[in-house]
Chains A and B, each alone.
Chain A
Amino acid sequence: MTTTAAPPPGKKVNRIGLELVEYKGGKTTLCAGCGHNAISERIVEAFYEMGIEPERVVKLSGIGCSSKSPAYFLGRSHGFNSVHGRMPSVGTGAILANRQLLAIGVSGDGDTGAIGIGQFVHLMRRNLPIVYIIEDNGCYGLTKGQFSPTADLGSRLKTGVVNDLPPIDTCALAIELGATFVARSFSGDKKQLLSILKAAVSHGGTSMIDVLSPCVTFNDHEGSTKSYSYVKDHDEPLGEVSFVPYFDDIEVDYEPGTTKEVEMHDGSKLYLKKVAENYDPTHKGAALRLLRETSERGVYATGVLYVERNRPNLVELLNLVDEPLATLPLERVRPPKAALDEIMESLR
């Protein structure tokens, strides 16, 4: 495999011998300063630092600014830019076809909260192994700035139009629906987002991350609750999120009593250094209360909000054979003649 070839001396490489550049994608066509570009950069870093073979990854998306972004990271991975709001079903088919794939789906707040709410709901229920990122700017960028369902009550378009419908909190919804990993972050918070992405990749079920990602063109102004300045002022991190991959033997020094350790599906460890008092990310009720209480204050709680471990994912529930279904040889997928004879006999 090319991925294990010895790197040229002096180049910085990850544990499988790849340079950061191997994880990059095409040149972005999004607006300069778009939060989505920052998220793409964190995705590149996360996969690079975790030493994941890009060939194992499939990138999926729906339609919208967010959904263009998979073209801008992991150029050595297969990608599928599907139809508006329907990426979850495409991802479901791909993962069922080949359980060895590592899926990352990028959606937006309209793609998820409006046209795709049905598929989002059922993805959360199914616990398909996929990292599902909502690049959440509260507006439709690609069609020039209309409100999306996550736009906050009272937020204002450049044209002066005020949103008078309540927003959907995708994180609270996901928790209610049975999602097993729910996080919120901010595109400008490099450290937190990177840690969350790594933990999400290690989770092994559906990892849902709502990333507030201000739209610099249509929604980054006074009166927008998803502008850079608003989010920066109203971001309330639950604590410092740290992630230690299972292959990493670095000693971590966290003080007992102030740190919550969560072991991920693959043996990696997620550490949440507490700021919020008594916050337990494995407690569904606490997570929902926190989201409610913070949103009433107009504040975004960020960090890993909820983690449920040990629930079987969809692939495990369906009890699939270990090998990818897509490449099973004919003799394993076509029953023998005796089976057909038996069926025919039963119909005589």
Chain B
Amino acid sequence: MAPSDVAVHESASEQTTRRITNDFSIQVATVNGSGSQTANLVLLRSIFQMGVPVSGKNLFPSNIAGLPTWFTIRANKDGYIGRKKEIDFLVAMNPETAREDVMTLESGAAVLYDEPLRLDALRDDLVFYAAPFDKLVVPVCPNAKLRKLVRNMIYDGMLAKLLDIDLAEMEKALRKQFGKKAKAAELNRGALQAGWDYAEANFTKRDPLRVERMDKTGGMILIEGNAAAAIGCMMAGVTVVGWYPITPSSSLAESLIAYMREHRVDKETGKATFAILQAEDELAALGIVLGAGWAGARAMTATAGPGISLMAEFAGLGYYTELPAVVFDIQRVGPSTGLPTRTAQGDVLSTAVLSHGDTKQVLLIPSSVGEIYQMAMDAFDLAETLQTPVFVMSDLDLGMNTWMSDPFPYPEGPIHRGKRLDRAKLAELGSFGRYRDVDGDGVPYRTIPLDGLPPYFNRGSGHNPDGKYSERPDDYVNNLDRLARKFETAKTHVPKPEVDDDPEAAIGFIAYGTSHWAALESRDQLRKEAGVRTAYLRVRAYPFTDEVKAFVERYHRVYVIEQNRDAQLRALMRIDLAPELMRNVRSVLHYDGLPIDARSITDSVLAQEAGHDGMTTE
């Protein structure tokens, strides 16, 4: 008798009559450093290649090897790519977490597990498939040292069989994953086949989940947000990068290095049209960026919350001396070290006012990989147009997880380098003063070293319109008021919100960044399950544009959905919007480190609508 037969329980077998096609999530629980990432990406990619919308989320520890890690793949025929709260199929490979992983499943879920774990004894309302992975891997991989790495590919083969995933698609995905490493690919292909064969011989299908070919991913790409941002930076013509390794931003800089070496080095001379320098810390990273921006380069850095804290002083210098800089903040959970490998939107408020004194920073907030590609280019244009640092507020979920997207369009237009003084303008103006508001929009003209135009002394101390040292009260006030005027000008340049009005809705949703995906799905849930209609506004930048106020005015109750405890975006709205308007604005908050999911939003909104004020801070 096959082990799996022992594991099947009466109550679970009833489910075989039900079929759930292209709408489930698979969670693979492994130990990090065990090569599971390859197996998981092959699984993800094979479903994607079958035309089914997918998303992959890696929940990993802040550790190199030996701690639990979970990879969740969601397949959804309707294109929902936010996190799904419930796990429908668990692959339990990690003895440390297996019991808890099984205990937290919803009734009816399926479990594929490593036989010695004996998980089937834990519950009688799940579908269990057991397989002796250690035995199966031996004939596949004669080299005992490599077995640990190949072992995980076996469950891919089993899942292919159980879920009707085309084995040929898995092999194709495997070849893609291994690229030129033919030997490794062949070894893993053997493991795939061994898993499939075992499943065919020993498993009786008892769960309702299956994959069926669709046509919803044709021509699309799979990419992580950090790589998408890197491509955008390269296309924007970045030339100087200072960075310091920090999770979850490191892969942005590292992707950029790889792309730039490939596409920005002269093939003949071997010389680079860029300088990327790993700095000694985040302070130096932003110092390098500001020095380069001052000298006329397009310069950037990428960091996360702790780095943002360290950059605060230089961020103020950039704001006050009006230098372009592009800073990517791939937000993670914290204060302090926090949870370095988990996601949040917890830096929005502090970054909007980053540095001491009266400081206001420009933020761009992308929701998708396609948008962060575009916003990377926008950020450089804005930083030079406005002569100020621009912060691109991504997060770990967008930056490090795998997302589908249409291919990125090639940027056809010119780049905008802002108000650079030239000889004609100098003749027209008669003389140059670095901080004179010549055009009335708060944005002055600038010169750069060696441009043959009048020099100036860039100083973080008090200065007058000519850039000369000044402690005069009127000079200080005039300068600060001009900077405020410039921030008003920024509103005419930053991307406007995406608005989906509904004249019949009483409720409006406001979300931003990766909360967008769960918000979209929750709107559908509310409409279908509770008959509640919602309008929607997705914030894409700070300073807010007038659309935000108008949206709040149009709807009776507005829910601001965000992934932090303190309702940070709502706090920024309070600065701009009248108190009576803010009385109608509530919060849906999510801050456990996991990406926000639709169900949590729906539950919170329904509870608040019913007068149960569960999740709001009001």
CB pair A343–B259 under 8 Å, yes or no, is: yes
> Is B275 a contact partner of A318 (Cβ separation < 8 A)?
yes
A residues 19-72 with Cβ under 8 Å of B? 55-56, 58-60, 70-71
Closest B residue by C-beta to A318: B275
User: Of residues B236, B279, B291, B292, which shows the largest number of chain A Cβ atoms within 10 Å of its Cβ?
Assistant: B291
Encoded as 1 (CB less than 8 Å from any B CB) or 0, chain A from 307 to 348 comes to 000000010001111101111101011110101110110011
Cβ of B112 under 8 Å from chain A: no
Q: Tell me, yes or no, whether A92 is within 8 Å of chain B by CB.
A: yes
Q: Does A97 contact B (CB under 8 A)?
A: yes
What separation, in Å, do the CA atoms of A101 and B292 have in the docked complex?
12
Which chain A residues lie closer than 8 Å to B497 at the CB level? none
Q: Is the CB of B457 within 8 A of A79?
A: yes
Q: Among B285, B296, B407, B458, point to the contact of A80 (Cβ < 8 A).
A: B458
Tell whether B133 is near chain A: CB-to-CB under 8 Å.
no
CB distance from B57 to the nearest CB of A (A): 18
A122 at the interface (CB under 8 A from B): yes
Chain A residues whose CB sits within 8 angstroms of the CB of B221 once the complex forms = 344, 347-348
A82 lies within 8 A of B460 (CB): yes
Q: Known interface pairs A86-B284, A94-B295, A325-B273. Does A330 touch B289 (Cβ–Cβ under 8 Å)?
A: no
Please tell me which one of the listed residues A90, A118, A330 contacts residue B290 in the complex, with CB atoms under 8 A apart. A90
Q: Is the CB of B275 within 8 A of A76?
A: no
A83–B458 contact, CB under 8 A?
Answer: no
Q: Which of B222, B237, B270, B295 contacts A97 (CB 8 A)?
A: B295
Checking B222, B288, B407, B408 against A93 with a beta-carbon cut-off of 8 angstroms, the contacting residue is B288
1/0 per position for B458-470, CB-CB distance to A under 8 A?
1111000000010
CB distance from A22 to the nearest CB of B (A): 13
The listed residue (B219, B272, B317) touching A319 by CB distance below 8 A is B272
Which of B410-418, B482-490, B549-557, B595-603 lies at the interface? B410-418
**Contact: B295 with A93, CB < 8 Å?**
yes
Query: Given known contacts A88-B284, A96-B297, A335-B263, is B292 in contact with A78 (CB within 8 Å)?
Result: no
The digit string for A108-151, where 1 denotes a CB below 8 A from any CB of B, is 00000000001101100000000000000000000000000000
- Give Cα A100–Cα B273 distance, bound, in whole angstroms: 15
A170 within 8 A of B: no
Q: Which of A81, A90, A122, A335 contacts B291 (CB 8 A)?
A: A90
Inter-chain contact B296/A93, CB cutoff 8 Å: no
- Contact (Cβ within 8 A) B272 A318: yes
Query: Do the beta carbons of B289 and A86 come within 8 Å of each other?
Result: no
Inter-chain contact A58/B287, CB cutoff 8 Å? no
A-B contact count (CB 8 A): 212
Contact with A along B217-247 (1 / 0, CB 8 A): 0011111000000010011111110100000
| B235 & A58 in contact (Cβ 8 Å cutoff) | no
A337 touches B314 (CB 8 A): no
A98 within 8 A of B: yes
A58 in contact with B271 given A80-B294, A82-B287 (CB within 8 Å): no
Chain A residue numbers with a CB within 8 Å of B407 are 344, 347-348
Please, which residues of chain A bring their CB within 8 A of the CB of B458?
Answer: 78-81
Q: Is the CB of B275 within 8 A of A81?
A: no
Asked whether, in the complex, the Cβ of A332 is within 8 Å of the Cβ of B296, the reply is: no
Checking A56, A101, A341 against B295 with a beta-carbon cut-off of 8 angstroms, the contacting residue is A101
Chain B residues with Cβ below 8 Å from A100 are 450
Residue of A82, A88, A335, A337 near B234 (CB, 8 A) is A335
- Neighbouring B residues of A58 by C-beta, 8 Å: 295, 449
Residues of B within 8 A of A332 (CB): 273
B287 close to A93 (CB less than 8 A): yes
Distance of A77 Cα from B411 Cα, bound (Å): 37
- Nearest-neighbour CB distance to chain A for B168, whole angstroms, equals 16
Q: Is the CB of A321 within 8 A of B266?
A: yes
Tell me whether B263 and A339 are in contact (CB under 8 A): yes
Question: Knowing A90-B287, A320-B272, A322-B271 touch, does A55 contact B450 (C-beta < 8 A)?
Answer: yes
Residues of A within 8 A of B281 (CB): 118
Contact check, A78 vs B288: say whether CB atoms are below 8 A apart.
Answer: no
**Residue A237 is within 8 A (CB to CB) of chain B in the complex:** no
Q: Return the contact of A94 from the options B235, B236, B238, B291 (Cβ within 8 A).
A: B291
Kindly list chain A residues whose C-beta atoms are within 8 Å of the C-beta of B289. 93
Q: Which single member of A82, A92, A319, A324 contacts B271 (CB below 8 Å)?
A: A319
Which residues from chain B contact A335 at a C-beta distance below 8 Å? 234-235, 263-264
Alpha-carbon separation in the docked complex, A121 to B281 (Å) = 12
Q: Count residues on chain B whose CB falls below 8 Å from chain A CBs.
A: 69
A170 to B182, CA, bound (A): 54
Q: Is B283 an interface residue (CB 8 A)?
A: yes
Measured between beta carbons, the chain A residues less than 8 angstroms from B222 are 347-348
B313 is an interface residue with CB less than 8 A from chain A: yes
| Cβ-defined contact, B297 with A89, below 8 A | no
A91 CB within 8 Å of chain B = yes
Instruction: Determine which of B450, B457, B469 lies in contact with A56 in the assembled complex, contact meaning CB atoms within 8 Å.
Output: B450
Known: A86-B284, A339-B263. A94 touches B294 (CB 8 A): yes
Known: A93-B288, A101-B295. A83 touches B242 (CB 8 A): no
Residues on the A chain within 8 Å of B288, using CB: 89-90, 92-93, 96
Chain B residues, Cβ within 8 Å of A333: 237-239, 264, 273-274, 298
Q: Mark B286-308, 1 if CB is under 8 A from A, else 0.
A: 11111111111111000000000
A292 CA to B449 CA, complexed, in Å: 41
Within the complex, what minimum Cβ distance (angstroms) separates B223 from chain A?
5
Residues of B within 8 A of A118 (CB): 280-281, 283-284
Complex CA distance for A71 and B414, rounded to whole angstroms: 37
Q: Which of B291, B293, B459 contacts A92 (CB 8 A)?
A: B291
Asked if B239 and A330 make an inter-chain contact with CB atoms under 8 angstroms apart, the answer reads no
B267 CB to nearest chain A CB (Å) = 12
- Please give, as numbers and ranges, the residues of chain B lying within 8 Å of A91 by CB-CB distance: 291
Minimum C-beta distance from A52 to chain B (A):
13
Query: In whole angstroms, how far apart are the Cα atoms of A343 and B223 in the complex?
Result: 11
Choose from A76, A89, A339 the contact partner of B242 (Cβ within 8 Å). A89
Chain B residues with CB under 8 A of A320:
271-273, 275
Whole-angstrom CA separation of A59 from B295 in the bound complex: 12
CB nearest to A347 among chain B residues: B221
Q: Is the CB of A94 within 8 A of B408?
A: no
Within the assembled complex, what's the spacing in Å between the Cα atoms of A118 and B284?
A: 9
Contact residues in A for B240 (Cβ distance below 8 Å): 93, 96-97, 325
- Chain B residues with Cβ under 8 A from A122's Cβ? 279-280, 284
**Separation of A344 and B410 alpha carbons in the complex (Å):** 11
B457: chain A residues within 8 A (beta carbon): 59, 70-71, 78-81
CB-CB < 8 A to A81: which residues of B?
A: 457-461
Residue in chain A with minimal CB distance to B228:
A347
Do A337 and B455 form a contact, CB below 8 Å, given A80-B294, A321-B271? Answer: no
CB distance from B291 to the nearest CB of A (A): 3
Q: When each residue 365-387 of chain B gets 1 if its CB lies under 8 Å from chain A and 0 otherwise, what string results?
A: 00000000000000000000000
Pair A89/B287 contact, Cβ less than 8 Å? yes
**At the interface, yes or no: B452 with Cβ under 8 Å from chain A?**
yes
A61–B551 alpha-carbon span in the complex (Å): 48
Contacting residues, chain A, for B271 (C-beta < 8 A): 319-322
Contacts of B178 in A (CB 8 A): none
- CB proximity to B under 8 Å, residues A196-232: none
Whether, in the assembled complex, B198 has its beta carbon less than 8 Å from a beta carbon of chain A, the answer is no
Q: What separation, in Å, do the CA atoms of A325 and B292 have in the docked complex? A: 9
Task: Identify B411's interface contact among A95, A119, A314, A334, CB under 8 A.
Answer: A334
23 contacting pairs across A/B (C-beta < 8 A):
A58-B449, A81-B459, A86-B313, A89-B279, A93-B291, A94-B292, A94-B449, A95-B295, A97-B292, A98-B296, A122-B284, A318-B277, A320-B272, A321-B272, A325-B292, A326-B239, A330-B237, A333-B274, A334-B415, A339-B262, A343-B231, A344-B407, A344-B408
Q: A78-B455, A341-B410 are in contact. List 4 more A-B contacts (CB 8 A).
A: A93-B292, A98-B448, A98-B449, A333-B273
Residues of B within 8 A of A (CB): 219-223, 231, 234-240, 242, 259, 262-264, 266, 269-275, 277, 279-281, 283-299, 313-314, 317, 407-408, 410-411, 414-415, 447-450, 452, 455-461, 469
Closest 5 CB pairs of A and B: A93-B291, A89-B287, A326-B296, A333-B237, A97-B297
